[in-house]
A = this chain, B = another copy of it.
Amino acid sequence: MEQDPGFIAALEEAKQGASEGGVPIGACLVSRDGKILGRGHNMRVQKGSPVLHAEMSALENSGRLPASAYEGATMYTTLSPCDMCTGACILYKIKRVVIGENENFVGGEELLLNKGKQVVNLDNQECKDLMAKFMKEKPELWNEDISV
């Protein structure tokens, strides 16, 4: 699953976010039949946005879609999704959430499971290293992003 185009795109987005001096989290929304609907990364720094977490950027970049487009879809994200992004996946009835890692942060995985979603943790070393470096170098930015 680490070779899925959706995960590769999410990781590319996370690295792009890092290269821009932002929060290095990326995401990619993939339809049931494997088409990338949208991809994006956290835009807190780049757009001064408190709502454009990676998963939200991927949804935003997917544009307006009917409910049918999200049926059976997978959200790939490099980090366990926060409560906001968890809620967005529930609203849009996304079937599966594939997470790069949850060692550096655990979000709403339990709620996703309770809502009948599939949750897969890839425990990916590259995702872990990217977040650990960021959290060490910019703790204030990370705290702002998850509001602690």
A positions within 8 Å CB-CB of B: 44, 48-52, 56, 59-60, 62-67, 70, 82-88, 90-93, 108, 111, 143-144, 146-148
Contact = CB atoms under 8 A, between A and B. Distances in A.
Nearest to A66: B144
Given A84-B88, A144-B64, A51 B59 contact: yes
A40 B23 CA distance: 25
A88 B129 CA distance: 27
B60 A92 contact: no
Question: Taking the full assembly, how many copies of this chain does it contain?
Answer: 2
Contacts of A65: 50, 144
Contacts of A84: 84, 87-88, 90-92
A57 to B, nearest CB: 8
Nearest to A107: B91
Contacts of A108: 87
A147 B87 contact: no
